[in-house]
Amino acid sequence: MPSVISVDRLIKRYNHLTAVDGVSFTVERGEVFGILGPNGAGKTTTLECIEGLQPPTSGVITVLGMDVARDPRGVKARIGVQLQASSYFDYLTLTEILELFGAFYPQRAKPLDLLARMGLESKAGARVNQLSGGQKQRFSVAATLVSDPEIVFLDEPTTGLDPQARRNLWEVVQGIHAEGRTVVLTTHYMEEAQLLCDRVAIMDQGKLIALDTPTRLAEALPAPYTVRAATPTPLDPDSLLGLDAVLDAETANGTLTLQSSDATRTVPALIALAGAGLGQLEVQMATLEDVFLAMTGRNLRD
């Protein structure tokens, strides 16, 4: 698969602050690529350098075979960009804004088709400030699609949305992906990255600390599985620790929690130990949250 984006040793400094510190990665055509990390990790800066919004301090970025530093307008004509918390002209209707932005590109989609896709056809004559938070986000995604782009960039598309609106937007992103477009998104929601992204780059303090599929990132942990079960009679902690593949064990309020390197070995051993009294058995794979915690010692959303 050919790479549509290649970032090579990207560094971005503002005065004394190094926002992005030597990041390299490639994005393949047709994938949903997530950049994950806490606030201030450098996600947005990385994205804006790729989009040609900010000049890198050093490093080379190629998008669709074009050098962003040399031909920013050529790149911009073939990508769609949604910015974090940007607004549009206050006195124009949704249709008028899409017509306006469409005029900036050589190829364009029909405003009403875009609005219909986002479930906003009834709002075609409304202004942006008359939309709810979720509708605003869907509209700004619609605006990224106005140029029929090959790559769509979404910067924290679901931040600040309620769960229903967030799920709505996930479907929108999956729809864009299904059309064969490449999607690059930033998020600090683990479940979002896990659900939407084919591959995830984890950033922390301007550095890329991991890059892989969500599953492989989790599997790389020493104990990627958590096994929980209710026991009528307390079990001996030492015998729990002795179970196959178990690295850590805890019991509280009649529930035991085991950290396991391989659930397929731990679960049969646990059943053999506890017998018929075992209830509410649950196996959970590690989340990206756990990956981040394990790699940095910090929680993602602090």
Partner 1 sequence: MPFVELFKANIRTLLRNRQALFWSMAFPLIFVFVFGLFFGGDAQRATLLVVDRADDALSHQLVAQLEALDSFTVQPSTDEAAARQAVRDGDASYLLVLPMGMASTTGAGGTASALLVYDQGNASAPVVIGAVGRMLDAFNLEASGAPRLLALEPEGVQGQELTYFDFLLPGFVSMGIMTYSIIGIASVIALYREQKVLKRLLASPLRVRHFFASIVVAHLLLSMVQAVVIAGVGMALFGAMVRGNLGMLFLVVVLGNTVFLSIGFIIGALSRTVQAASGLGNAVAMPMMFLSGTFFPRDSLPAVLKAVVDLLPLSAMVDLLRGMALDARPLWDFPGALALLLAWAVGTALVAVRVFRFS
- Cα separation, 272 vs 233, whole angstroms: 15
Q: How far is the CB of 81 from partner 1 (least distance, A)?
A: 4
Angle value at C-alpha 42, between 39 and 46, nearest 5 degrees? 135
If the CB atoms of residues 61 and 240 are measured against partner 1, the closer one turns out to be 61
16 binds partner 1 (CB under 8 A): no
Which of 77/295 has CB closer to partner 1?
77
Nearer to partner 1, 176 or 200 (CB): 176
Is 69 a binder of partner 1 (CB under 8 A)?
Answer: no
Identity of the residue, 57 or 205, whose beta carbon is nearer to partner 1 in the bound complex: 57
Identified binder of partner 1 from the candidate list 64, 81, 165, 201, rule CB under 8 A:
81
C-beta of residue 146 within 8 angstroms of C-beta of residue 101: yes
- Binders in 19-48 for partner 1, by CB under 8 A: none
**Integer Cα distance of 115 and 117 in angstroms:** 5
Both tokens assigned to 166? 């967030």
Residue 18, judged by CB atoms within 10 A of its CB (0-12, 13-18, 19+), counts as middle
Among 123, 11, 26, CA closest to 65: 26
The footprint of partner 1 on residues 164-183 (CB under 8 A) is none
Contacting range for partner 1; rule: CB under 8 A; set: 90-98, 195-203, 215-223, 255-263: 90-98
Amino acid, res. 137: Q
Please tell me the count of residues contacting partner 1 according to CB under 8 A.
Answer: 27
Q: Does 85 bind partner 1 (CB under 8 A)?
A: yes
One-letter amino acid at 290 equals D
* Residue 216 tokens, joined: 């492989």
Q: Is 99 in the site for partner 1 (CB under 8 A)?
A: yes
Decide whether 51 or 290 has the Cβ nearer to partner 1.
51
Among 76, 123, 136, 138, binds partner 1 (CB under 8 A): 76
- Under rule CB under 8 A, residue 302 binds partner 1: no
Let me know: does 27 contact 47? Beta carbons within 8 Å: no
Residue 100, both tokens: 């306006």
83 binds partner 1, rule: CB under 8 A: yes
Closer by beta carbon to partner 1, 140 or else 259 = 140
Alpha-helix residue ranges (DSSP H) falling in 235-287: 237-241, 263-274
Compute the half-sphere exposure of residue 158: CA atoms within 13 Å on the CB side of its CA.
22
Q: Under the criterion CB under 8 A, does residue 124 sit at the interface with partner 1? A: no
Q: Applying CB under 8 A, which of residues 15, 73, 163, 302 lies at the interface with partner 1?
A: 73
Residue 92 makes contact with partner 1 by CB under 8 A: yes
- Is position 51 an interface residue for partner 1 (rule: CB under 8 A)? yes
24, 58, 86, 174: which one binds partner 1 (CB under 8 A): 86
Q: Which range, of 28-36, 83-91, 191-199, 251-259, touches partner 1 by CB under 8 A?
A: 83-91
Give the whole-angstrom CA distance, residue 301 versus residue 271: 36
Under rule CB under 8 A, residue 129 binds partner 1: no
Q: H helices within 103-232, ranges in order?
A: 111-117, 133-144, 163-178, 190-196, 214-219
Token digits for 28? 């393949």
The span from the CA of 180 to the CA of 29, in Å, is 8
Q: Is 130 in the site for partner 1 (CB under 8 A)?
A: no
Return residues touching partner 1 (CB under 8 A). 51-54, 73-74, 76-77, 81, 83, 85-92, 96, 99-105, 147
